[in-house]
Amino acid sequence: MFNVIAISRQFGSGGRTVGREAAKRLNIPCYDHELIEKVATSSGFSKDYVESQGEYANHRSWIGQALEHTGRFDCMSNQDKIWVEQRKIIIELSKEPCVIVGRCADYILRDRKDVLRAFIHADDASRAERIVKLYGEKADKPEKRLKDKDKRRAAYYRYYTDTDWGEAVNYHIALDSGVLGIDKCADILVNIYKSN
């Protein structure tokens, strides 16, 4: 029944690794960074710009952009342009079996009955440990980095989907990777994908 898995995840929860692992076991592609590259190519923006604007946008910059555009004919902000490109590419990619991580794919594909919508989260301690291991120490403490990214992802999600990020009812399955473990989460997704 399911052909695609769309994973939304908290920063540092290992949701991307869950996606990659599930895709590997199912022998289907997993799109995450590849998606950014595709959006960069088709939109003409740089990869870094797409990455920073495509999921972690912050409100002030939108207002700034909106003001910049006042009175111009092409009044779409860069962020909106990236959203439109992302959406197109996600719809295109999801025609074939795959795993897609982030970028509101769960919302964009919400009317497709063959798309399993998953949310991966974990307690703050597990996530803090994970981001320090993966991305190293930074000036800001890991707890602050988590809070900041969560807030910006939630705001981005809310802005473009008009629904709340992380509400259980918006997903077919939500898993705590801190308690269950990355491997087990991948297992569960693979099992659902195969058995439906």
Residues that bind a second copy (CB under 8 A): 10, 119, 121, 166-169, 171-176, 179-180, 184, 188, 191-192, 195-196
Min dist. Cβ of residue 32 to a second copy (A): 20
Residue 74 zone, left/alpha/beta (φ > 0; ψ -120 to 50; rest): beta
**Which residue, 76 or 179, is less far from a second copy as judged by CB?**
179
Asked if 100 and 4 count as a contact pair (C-beta separation under 8 A), the reply is yes
Q: How many CB atoms lie within 10 A of CB 114?
A: 12
CB-count burial class (<10 Å; 0-12, 13-18, 19+) for 127: buried
Alpha-carbon gap, residue 18 to 24, rounded angstroms: 10
> Measured from the CB atom, is 83 or 165 closer to a second copy?
165
Q: Which is nearer to a second copy, 24 or 112 (CB)?
A: 112
Nearer to a second copy, 47 or 149 (CB): 149
CB 110 within 8 A of CB 8: no
- Smallest distance, a second copy to C-beta of residue 51, A: 25
What minimum distance in Å lies between the beta carbon of 151 and a second copy?
14
Closest to a second copy by CB, 156 vs 193, is 193
User: Shortest gap between Cβ of 89 and a second copy (angstroms)?
Assistant: 25
Distance CA 72, CA 137 (A): 43
We find the least distance from the C-beta atom of residue 174 to a second copy, in angstroms, to be: 4
